[in-house]
Amino acid sequence: MSSNPIELDIAIIGGGSAGMALASKLDNLSAAVFEPKTAAERDSSWALWAQPEQLEQLSPAIRGSWDKWRLIDHSGEVIHQSNEYRYTSLSSGQYLQHCEASLKDSVNLVRAAVDDLTAEENGGQFSADGQAYKAKTIYDSRPPIMGDNSLRQHFVGWEISTKEPITDADIATLMDFRVDQSRGLHFIYVLPYSDRHLLVESTMISNQLEDKDWYRNAISQWLADRNIQMQSQLREEYGVIPMAAVQPQNTQVPTIGAAGGSVRLSSGYAFSTIQAQMATLAEAISAGEREVPAPFSRRLIFMDRVFNRALSAQPDRGVGLFMATSKALDAEEFARFMLGNAGAMEWAKVIMAMPKWPFIQAALRQVFKND
């Protein structure tokens, strides 16, 4: 390793959603983001409810955008149509490339993994690709450690083309629960990029990961049940998203993104929260502050933990909980709720729609942590 460390004001470890969003907003200080993978190696779908100004900002990475979305179970479907929000799918690879192209001259992208990190106050020393670095502030976004038996959202997705045009190509299906529920809460997620081009994911919310073939079989079965014949499989993605508290890889330096608790615990959505958090952090940095803003209010974290406790205690109620939430809210309210921006009225509607006793038990357990 070189003996003279390169000195930086800010080092960002991990150039994913959070790291690149922050790096692309920094200016006028010496900074570097360290990321071993190329944007193309990181290609998957990141989706969010976007309003018009966000759609414009994210336009280089948008793969599809829908003003209608739905949830389905055996008893029927709830369709939301919004004038304000569009459910929008991004190519993460294109988003990361767009951020990379926006980096200012003072910010470098180092295509290497960080190791040997030694924390010193908010910063520290580390090496990457045999070079030593010393940074006054470090923001660490390396993926967090998830407990083996913790509640997680886990999925396999296939991007496919179809032999025949599909119906309802103008609606994003967020959750189709008409699938095997024997292993935990399970749904199919479908984004129709066109009437012959889809992303289809088999998603589980449970404590145990399945063998990848389990999700693949579920996708095949769902397609067969709808008589949708695949022309070709274009891509496969796999993901595991925490729905419980996580442990950062290094507890001594500030964390951002999923490592800093930016994943919404009850839904697994994180992209919008990370965008907002990184915009606020970049403004703080330009004003001379370095502290990472909290991603969520304490109330929201409490409510999400109660929801997850109720779900974990009685997973067979999961379908009903999500369907009841979507029925209780209109499209705009639902989008705000999923984004973590719901007001008191929206929360009141959701609480009224929930079965009371499981939630009272879950809330008491969360307050007294007696399990």
C-alpha–C-alpha distance, residues 137 and 142, integer Å: 15
8 A C-beta contact, residue 279 and residue 272: no
Q: What distances in angstroms separate CA 359 from CA 207, 267, 364, one per listed residue? A: 20, 17, 8
Smallest gap from residue 278 Cβ to ligand FAD (A): 9
Smallest gap from residue 370 Cβ to ligand FAD (A): 31
- Which residue from 37, 183, 235, 327 is in contact with ligand FAD, where contact means CB under 6 A? 37
Binding to ligand FAD in span 236-295, by CB under 6 A: 237, 239, 241, 257-259, 263, 269-271, 274
Smallest gap from residue 358 Cβ to ligand FAD (A): 27
151 interacts with ligand FAD by CB under 6 A: no
- Decide whether 143 or 358 has the Cβ nearer to ligand FAD: 143
3-class SS of residue 356: helix
- Decide whether 144 or 184 has the Cβ nearer to ligand FAD: 144
212 interacts with ligand FAD by CB under 6 A: no
Smallest gap from residue 262 Cβ to ligand FAD (A): 6
Local structure of residue 5 (DSSP, 8 states) = P
Q: Which residues lie closer than 8 Å to 114 by C-beta, 6 or more apart?
A: 11, 13, 34, 126, 127, 128, 142
- Decide whether 310 or 338 has the Cβ nearer to ligand FAD: 338
- Which residue from 13, 156, 219, 323 is in contact with ligand FAD, where contact means CB under 6 A? 13
In what side-by-side order are the strands of the sheet with 171-176? 76-81, 68-73, 171-176, 185-194, 197-206, 152-162, 230-242
Question: Where does the chain have alpha helices with state H?
Answer: 17-23, 52-58, 92-101, 212-225, 271-286, 298-313, 318-328, 331-339, 344-353, 356-368
48 interacts with ligand FAD by CB under 6 A: yes
- Decide whether 87 or 354 has the Cβ nearer to ligand FAD: 87
296 interacts with ligand FAD by CB under 6 A: no
C-alpha–C-alpha distance, residues 178 and 366, integer Å: 31
Q: Which range in 36-44, 159-167, 174-182, 280-288 contacts ligand FAD by CB under 6 A?
A: 36-44
93 interacts with ligand FAD by CB under 6 A: no
Binding to ligand FAD in span 215-234, by CB under 6 A: none
- Decide whether 102 or 361 has the Cβ nearer to ligand FAD: 102
24 interacts with ligand FAD by CB under 6 A: no
Smallest gap from residue 249 Cβ to ligand FAD (A): 8
Instruction: Give CA 114 to chain center in angstroms.
Output: 23
8 A C-beta contact, residue 321 and residue 164: no
189 interacts with ligand FAD by CB under 6 A: no
8 A C-beta contact, residue 249 and residue 140: yes
x-or-dash string of contact with ligand FAD, 98-137, rule CB under 6 A? ---------------xx-----------------------
C-alpha–C-alpha distance, residues 339 and 334, integer Å: 8
Q: Which one, of 25, 23, 61, lies nearest residue 44 by Cα? A: 61
43 interacts with ligand FAD by CB under 6 A: no
Q: What distances in angstroms separate CA 218 from CA 161, 198, 207, 238, one per listed residue? A: 18, 16, 18, 14
# residues near ligand FAD by CB under 6 A: 33
Q: Which residues lie closer than 8 Å to 364 by C-beta, 6 or more apart?
A: 370
**Residues found near ligand FAD in the complex (CB under 6 A):** 13-19, 34-37, 42, 44-48, 113-114, 141-143, 237, 239, 241, 257-259, 263, 269-271, 274
